Amino acid sequence: MSSTGKWKLAAGVACAAVLAVAACGRDIGGPAHRTVGSGGPLINGARIRGTLMETVSPLIATSYRPEPVRRDFSAVVDHGRARLDGATIALSRGLPSAASDVEFTDREGRRARVVAHASAAGLPPKGFQVYRDGQLLVDVTFRWQNIDGAWVLGERTLTVYDHGRALLRHTRALDGATLASGGLRLPGLGGTASLAAILLPQRLEAQWYRCLGEATETVLAASLVSAATVAFITAPSAVTWGAVVGAIGVYDVAMDAYFNCVFPVQPRSDP
């Protein structure tokens, strides 16, 4: 099944659950990540292993509080990027600019805005917000560590909004990440100083317009997360929480596809 097909299938499952209901920082980025390889960890075919911890904090009173989830993970490095559950957890370069703020009319005729920003050019994403008709839907913050010239995700925190009210906070944190040996090293990946050198010259505006489809899917996924969260808050249960989990998974994948389209990870071609 294609990535678009998987996205539509996941979205359909989450939407069905939402419609059924409608009808009726912790700092973990220190020593835990210092075991990630040496001499440049982003090697094609290598595996990053560790523990994923997911916690949920409803920001308004609710009778159902999901339990934290903790599980081991293994992710394969592929062309400067490693993903877990479809979302990036390690990458070889940061954003080519400190901020990207775009507005457009989505396929439903509504005004959408997508904002991505880093602390500075050459650093990985620090924040990502999606708005629709002027209303903030989802606010995501990232915390990364530079390990031997690559960026490894420490924590991703997602806050869901509805009409200006924060409803829920979902955190994914990596702990004890280690890198298995093997694979082929990518060219041109060195320490922190080399991050700016591998940025390809390109007009960011032109790159974004090529990625309009990915931006639109990200906005729709954010809307799905907000709708599922409202359903969960209105009628908290394992069923409605399952819809939230599915919607967040769809959103993480859509957001990652948008980042990868606008800011593709491409190693420098050595002379």
Give DSSP secondary structure letters for 166-196.
Answer: EEEEEEEEEEEEEE-S-SEEPTT--SGGGTG
- Asked whether residue 33 carries a pLDDT value surpassing 80, the answer given is no
Range of the domain at 198: 28-262
Residue 100 has pLDDT above 70, yes or no: yes
- Residue 268 in any domain: the answer is no
Residue 15 pLDDT > 50, yes or no?
Answer: no
In a domain, 61, yes or no: yes
Cβ neighbors of 41 (< 8 A, separation 6 or more) are 48, 77, 90, 147, 148, 149, 150, 152, 179
Q: Examine the pLDDT at 257 and tell me if it is beyond 90.
A: yes
Determine the average pLDDT of the residues in 221-227.
96
Residue 59 — φ and ψ, nearest 5°?
-95, 0
Place 53 in a pLDDT band, splitting at 50, 70 and 90. Answer: very high
Q: With 90 as the cut, is the pLDDT of residue 130 above it?
A: yes
User: Is 18 a member of any domain?
Assistant: no
Arithmetic mean of pLDDT, 98-114: 88
Q: For the chain, what is the domain count?
A: 1
Q: Which residue has the higher pLDDT, 268 or 158?
A: 158
Q: Does 255 reside within a domain?
A: yes
Query: Is residue 60 very low, low, confident or very high in pLDDT (cuts 50, 70, 90)?
Result: confident
In the predicted model, is pLDDT for residue 211 greater than 80? yes
Give the per-residue pLDDT at 185: 36
173 lies in some domain: yes
- For residue 257, is it within any domain? yes
CA distance 80 to 64: 40
* Predicted local confidence at residue 191, as pLDDT: 31
Mean pLDDT of the chain: 75
What is the predicted pLDDT for the residue at 266? 52
**What is the band of 179 on the pLDDT scale with cuts at 50, 70, 90?**
low
Q: Which residue has the higher pLDDT, 107 or 117?
A: 117
Query: How far apart are the C-alpha atoms of 178 and 51, rounded to whole Å?
Result: 10
Q: Is residue 7 part of a domain?
A: no
pLDDT score, position 61:
82
What's the pLDDT band for 28 if we cut at 50, 70, 90?
very low
